[in-house]
Chains A and B, each alone.
Chain A
Amino acid sequence: MKLSVVLNEGPYQHQAADTAYHFTRAALAKGHEIYRVFFYHDGVNNGTRLTTPPQDDRNIVARWSALAEEHDLDLVVCVAAAQRRGIVDESEQKRHGKDANNIAPGFRISGLGQLIEAGIESDRLVVFGD
């Protein structure tokens, strides 16, 4: 089955961030296709490479990046939600004259249209959050 995942909550704050990852991994292991993972609301915070969790804890951002590399996943961070919360890639940095960027490897910033398109193109859109 062709699936897309939506993650609406931030890492460490909310179980949804973990569950979305475990679901995605399990779906891939079962042979399903993940068309896209879309990060919205505080979910965009899953895409900052500047996160530094304690060493004895899981690294939620790094494990998304690793999964993306392994399976060529499309991890999309919503641009409007990202701008509000300070998630920045190189082009956003230039566009808004910021002094840094922080997007993690494997993630890209794009519009909400990517969420709608994922809903249209996928057999199921699975949403994680409250």
Chain B
Amino acid sequence: MEPSPEEYEGEEYAGGVVKKFMYVNRRAPHGTVYAQEALEVVLIGAAFEQDVSVVFIDDGVYQIKKDQDPSAIGTKNFSKTFRALEMYDVEKLYVEKESMQARGLTEDDLNVPVEVKTSEEIGRLMEEQDVVLSF
């Protein structure tokens, strides 16, 4: 089941500090649990009203590929949850151009609106962050 925004409202943070948080998704959506549990961190983190960006690099670009159907391996299709990120005010989604090209993907293959950035551009963004969590 997809978590709803209401489910996380209990975790409000009243500290008033806003830091730059970047979540870096590097792994394929299935095969290991990292991608799924990373998404849970992003959803919970949204309740803290930080300056959040989410990056997809390497096999991580597959996480937002359209039309996923893992039913044959009995795992959860959590790719749909990425579409809910906007509802949580997580709007800065970046995909690394080189990773996408190497895998023969274009923006049309993705299920959420993203900004395509070069490896160098993403590197510069990373340097600006306070917290980088890489999955």
B-binding residues in A (CB < 8 A)? 6, 40-41, 80-81, 84, 111-113, 115-117, 119-121, 125, 127
With A80-B37, A112-B41, A112-B45 already in contact, 19 other A-B pairs whose C-beta atoms are closer than 8 Å: A41-B33, A111-B44, A112-B44, A113-B13, A113-B47, A113-B48, A115-B41, A116-B41, A117-B13, A117-B15, A117-B48, A119-B21, A119-B130, A119-B131, A120-B131, A121-B17, A125-B131, A127-B133, A127-B134
Instruction: Judge if B40 is at the interface, Cβ distance under 8 Å.
Output: yes
Cα(A112)–Cα(B44), bound, Å:
7
Contact residues in B for A121 (Cβ distance below 8 Å): 15, 17
- Chain B interface extent, by class: 20 to 34
Q: Can you give 16 A-B contacts (C-beta < 8 A)? A: A40-B41, A41-B34, A111-B11, A112-B41, A113-B44, A115-B41, A116-B13, A116-B41, A116-B48, A117-B13, A117-B15, A117-B48, A119-B21, A119-B131, A119-B133, A125-B131
Main secondary structure, interface of A, reads helix
**In the complex the two chains form, is B37's CB within 8 Å of A40's CB?**
yes
Cα(A84)–Cα(B48), bound, Å:
24
Contact residues in A for B37 (Cβ distance below 8 Å): 40-41, 80-81
**In the complex the two chains form, is B50's CB within 8 Å of A116's CB?**
yes
Q: Write the nearest CB–CB distance from A71 to chain B, whole angstroms.
A: 23
Cα(A120)–Cα(B16), bound, Å:
10
Instruction: Judge if B103 is at the interface, Cβ distance under 8 Å.
Output: no
A-facing residues in B1-30 (Cβ within 8 Å):
11, 13, 15, 17, 19, 21
Contact residues in A for B40 (Cβ distance below 8 Å): 80, 112
The 9 closest A-B pairs by CB, nearest first: A113-B11, A112-B44, A119-B131, A116-B45, A116-B48, A125-B131, A120-B17, A112-B41, A120-B19
Nearest residue, chain A, Cβ from B133:
A127
Contact residues in A for B34 (Cβ distance below 8 Å): 41
Query: Which residue, of A6, A41, A120, has the highest number of chain B Cβ atoms within 10 A?
Result: A120
Q: Write the nearest CB–CB distance from B32 to chain A, whole angstroms.
A: 9
Q: Write the nearest CB–CB distance from B49 to chain A, whole angstroms.
A: 10
